[in-house]
Amino acid sequence: MSEKMTILAIGGHVGDMELTAGGALASHALKGDKIVTLALTAGERGVPAGQDVGEYRAQKVREAAQFAELLGGESIVFEIPDGELQDSEEMRYRVCDVIREVKPNVIITHFKNSMHKDHMTTHRIVNDARFFAGLAAMKRDLPAHFAGTLYYAENWEDAVDYRPYVYVDFSQEAYDLWIKALSLHWFVTGSKSFPYMEYYKHLARVRGIEARKQYAETFMVPEETKRLLKDQL
């Protein structure tokens, strides 16, 4: 029996990782692995017309929790206002502390390029926080923990120079669980700015076809880990 994994998915906003890595997260949840999502902001400034921003923030936090609960996991949402995420050492330490607490085997976050500044800032924060978390000489409240695998999820807003490198396929059961959980997010089903549900459902099928599977999600990896080791051609 394989050892259970812990996966920490870190997004700039509630919904980012749920959309882009949710199929893989659901698949791992069904295998008994632990799923934790961390949103550095709630993403509340995508508020529906006529709704109070504060109320929508509370709604987003509930949606994150409901998604995670359906996967048997947990969610964390920082209190930082949407659009005001700072590229700072303080933020790196905060994320470092979460990594040390959760002790993930795998971290998933944003790719380096994006039309959205919170996504790019999150990418930089997570890369450094992962390093800090694994550094024993970096004294924090909790002992060091190094997450050995880091992935960058495929996001339509983070598309510049993104090239699929790792394909993770998942079953119909995982797909159905993902879509059920994803449907709890208002912006996925109700937003008029972009057809999120339609796009990501079709993308999962397209990537599945490319992988000769039913459904799949793709990920990039840090440049320094892009290597294939073989003992023959």
What pLDDT shows up at residue 228? 83
Q: Could you tell me which residues come within 8 angstroms of residue 166 by beta carbon, excluding any fewer than 6 positions away?
A: 151, 218, 219, 220, 221
**Can you tell me the distance from the alpha carbon of 64 to that of 9, in angstroms, rounded to the nearest whole number?**
12
Candidates 127, 219, 93, 111; CA nearest to 168 is 219
Residues ≥6 apart with Cβ < 8 Å to 71:
25, 26, 29, 35, 177, 181
State both tokens at 145. Answer: 């923990």
Indicate the angle between helix axes 89-102 and 117-133, nearest 10 degrees.
60
Nearest alpha carbon to residue 77 among 150, 148, 15, 120: 15
- Top CATH class of 6-223 equals alpha beta
Task: Read off the DSSP letter of residue 44.
Answer: G
Alpha carbons 64 and 38: distance in angstroms, whole number: 9
Please state the domain extents for the chain: 6-223
- Total-model pTM: 0.96
Q: Does the pLDDT value for residue 100 go beyond 60?
A: yes
Report whether 119 contacts 158 (CB < 8 A): yes
pLDDT tens, position by position, 13-65? 999 999 999 999 999 999 999 999 999 999 999 898 889 999 999 999 999 99
Mean pLDDT for the chain overall: 96
pLDDT at residue 205, as a whole number: 98
In the chain, % helix, strand, coil (3-state, to 5) comes to: 45, 20, 35
